[in-house]
Amino acid sequence: MTTSTIAVIDLDLPGATISRHVYGHFAEHLGRCIYGGFWVGEDSPVANVRGIRSDVVEALRAISIPNLRWPGGCFADDYHWRAGVGPRESRPRMVNSHWGDVVEDNAFGTHEFMDLCELLGADPYVSGNVGSGSVAEMSEWVEYLTRADDSPMAALRRANGRERPWRVPFWGLGNEAWGCGGNLRAEQFASLARQYATYCRNHGGNLLYRIAAGANEADLHWTETLMRSFDDLAADRAGSAGPFQAVSLHYYTMAGPWSDKGDATGFSTDQWYVTMARARRMEELLTRHSTVMDRYDPHRKVGLVVDEWGTWWNVEKGTNPGFLYQQNTLRDALVAAVHFDAFHRHAERVVMANIAQTVNVLQAMILTDPDSGALVLTPTYHVFAMNTGHHDAAALAVHLRDVETRAVGATELPLVSASASVKGDTALVSLSNLDADTDRTLVLDLRGRDVVGHTARVLTAKALDAHNTPEQLDAVAPTDHAGVHPHPRGLEVELPAHSYVTVALELR
């Protein structure tokens, strides 16, 4: 059966700018994300530049990776940056107690991370240690990275081989402070965030955008407490804002409870729908946290940064449970597409987002084979690739009519998700058919500007759990989509069951 939905888009009514930073990434010292994923060392047979994998850099440059968050996650609040600078052979070791209880040799530290960001052309987002660190330690890390003169930390950086300071735009104050980052109460953390932020100084021309560790899922009290902590500093907010400029939010999508999140492959159709319904929950979370923020910050100067999101499945059998390695299928791709639609709709408040995590961990863009070193681009990677046209474009409202829904537990899941943006004479429309079984057509009712041309891409596969492997690199890969036809209202688009489609419009 084929059913038709209408999407009305006013092409001449651009809204808020979709920051390219919502397409940000996250790399933690966890499993094979840093070691084996980004970092292979200079002596590796895998092609590398100063120890950093060249193929991974090339793949991420191709999707215009805008920023990279590091070193955690939970690891960030155990990490003492001085252990990761200086001659590699004499760096102290530590236990990575959160992730696999393995010994970390600190081969990849500050200089290696900044080198990686320079190779990627991405802005660094450094996550500072509030949980087990000190104010002085964090303050000195900022000085080490960003100060130009002969201050003690700038001199130490120079002695370690880097003459010029780096530019570091994004700075995290702790991570999940309600959990692995110290098990703090909201009130306690709000005070600490103000204190730490004060000592994370702007050196020279480097302006830090400080992001306070935010809420877990629907913990509105956490967001409210952080926002309230701005009150007596309201005078500063007229200028560059302070003490911190954003609060974060973490939300993971799974098909079951934390104790049994569901498998990455071989899942049922019911689990597909539960996953889609849970992915759609991001929209509700953004609305609710934004509403709380609006009470304190109606002009939306404080940003909401979703610096951890994505799917979290049961670990792959036979892998270290602490390494969070999981396969990535067409289902993950649709989860990503639904999240981006929500981020686009909340462009006024959501200034950055970071999928967890870039390589070999959770909802990865890239999987690398531990034995052969082969690189696989996942279905999720392809959604990032198909969406680059949304980077820094103006959001367009998409008014969906006649969308079928499906009952999933207590919620009604709309079976189509959509968003759009415009940049100059080009618009990009993103369309997801979340229906596991049914093809549908969608009419794009395009108003306000003339459409003089279009191209389209589609990402789909026969099986819901189709995925790419070293043996089959392109089992799920975008192809040109011939299913877009002229229609009296604009265009009619065929949306195969369980597919993601982008339509690029040429405007006059």
**Least distance in Å: CB of 174 to ligand AHR?**
10
Contact by Cβ (8 Å): 418, 430? yes
| Residue 117 vs residues 25, 27, 54, 99, 261: alpha-carbon distances, Å | 11, 11, 13, 24, 33
- Is 31 a binding residue for ligand AHR by CB under 6 A? The answer is no
290-309 positions binding ligand AHR, by CB under 6 A = 308
Beta carbon nearer to ligand AHR, 112 or 308: 308
CA-to-CA separations, 20 to 57, 384, 387, 389, in angstroms, rounded: 18, 11, 10, 9
28 binds ligand AHR, rule: CB under 6 A = yes
Q: Kindly state whether residue 175 participates in binding ligand AHR, applying the rule CB under 6 A.
A: yes
Site map (CB under 6 A) of ligand AHR, residues 83-122, x = contact = ----------------------------------------
Q: Does 27 bind ligand AHR (CB under 6 A)?
A: no
Distance CA 356, CA 334 (A): 15
Return the residue nearest ligand AHR (CB atom): 73
Q: Residues 355 to 374: which contact ligand AHR by CB under 6 A?
A: 356-357, 362
Question: Residue 504's CB: how many other CB atoms inside 10 A?
Answer: 15
Residue with tokens 């702007």: 202
Smaller CB distance to ligand AHR: residue 28 or 341? 28
100-113 CB burial, b ≥16 within 10 A, e <16: bebebebebbbbbb
Distance, CA of 85 to CA of 115 (rounded, Å): 13
Residues of span 206-265 touching ligand AHR by CB under 6 A: none
Residue type, 418: A
Residue with tokens 């057509």: 441
Cβ atoms 109, 160 nearer than 8 A: no
Largest CA distance in the chain: 72
How far apart are the C-alpha atoms of 258 and 261, rounded to whole Å?
5
Q: Which range, of 194-202, 224-232, 354-362, 371-379, touches ligand AHR by CB under 6 A?
A: 354-362
Site map (CB under 6 A) of ligand AHR, residues 66-85, x = contact: ------xxx-----------
Is there a catalytic annotation at residue 494?
Answer: no
The H or E element spanning position 128 is: strand 123-128
Nearer CB in complex with ligand AHR: 116/362: 362
Which of 74, 302 has the CB closer to ligand AHR? 74
Q: Tokens 């092409």: give the residue.
A: 11
Measured from the CB of residue 116, what is the shortest distance to ligand AHR in angstroms?
18
Q: How many residues bind ligand AHR (CB under 6 A)?
A: 10
What is the spatial distance between Cα 230 and Cα 239, in angstroms, rounded to a whole number?
Answer: 14
Q: Shortest distance, CB of residue 89 to ligand AHR, whole angstroms?
A: 28
User: For residues 144 and 166, is the Cβ–Cβ distance under 8 A?
Assistant: no
How far the first Cα of the chain sits from its last, in Å, is: 36
Pair of tokens at residue 257: 């409870």
Q: How far is the CB of 55 from ligand AHR (least distance, A)?
A: 23
CB of 163 to ligand AHR, least distance (A): 33
Measure the CA–CA gap between 501 and 508, rounded to whole angstroms: 23
Instruction: Name which position in 78, 104, 123, 176 contacts ligand AHR (CB under 6 A).
Output: 176
Alpha-carbon dihedral 338, 458, 5, 437, rounded to 10 degrees: -80
d(CA 316, CA 265): 9
**398-401 and 350-356: which strand pairing?**
unpaired
Of the two residues 224 and 308, which places its CB atom closer to ligand AHR in the complex?
308
Residue 359 DSSP code: B
Shortest spacing between CB 400 and ligand AHR, in angstroms: 32
Shortest Cβ 257–ligand AHR spacing (Å): 15
* Nearer CB in complex with ligand AHR: 27/420: 27
Instruction: Give whichever of 16 and 254 is closer to ligand AHR, judged by the CB atom.
Output: 254
Shortest CB 179 distance to ligand AHR, Å? 7
Q: Which is nearer to ligand AHR, 79 or 273 (CB)?
A: 79
Backbone angles phi and psi of 464, in degrees to 5? -65, -30
Active-site residue identified among 28, 104, 143, 176:
176
Pairing mode of beta strands 67-70, 123-128: parallel
Q: Evaluate whether 142 touches 166 at the Cβ level (below 8 Å).
A: no
Q: What are phi and psi of 330, to 5 degrees?
A: -55, -35
State which residue, 362 or 386, has the beta carbon closest to ligand AHR.
Answer: 362
**Rounded least distance, CB 361 to ligand AHR, Å:** 7
Task: Between 113 and 230, name the residue whose CB sits nearer to ligand AHR.
Answer: 113
Shortest Å distance, C-beta 72 to ligand AHR: 5
Does 493 contact ligand AHR by CB under 6 A?
Answer: no
Selected catalytic residue, list 308, 404, 412, 506: 308
Q: Are 211 and 171 in contact (CB under 8 A)?
A: yes
Q: Which two tokens stand for residue 120?
A: 């990627």
Active site residue 348: no
Task: List, by residue number, the catalytic residues.
Answer: 176, 308
- Which spans of this chain sit near ligand AHR (rule: CB under 6 A)? 28, 72-74, 175-176, 308, 356-357, 362
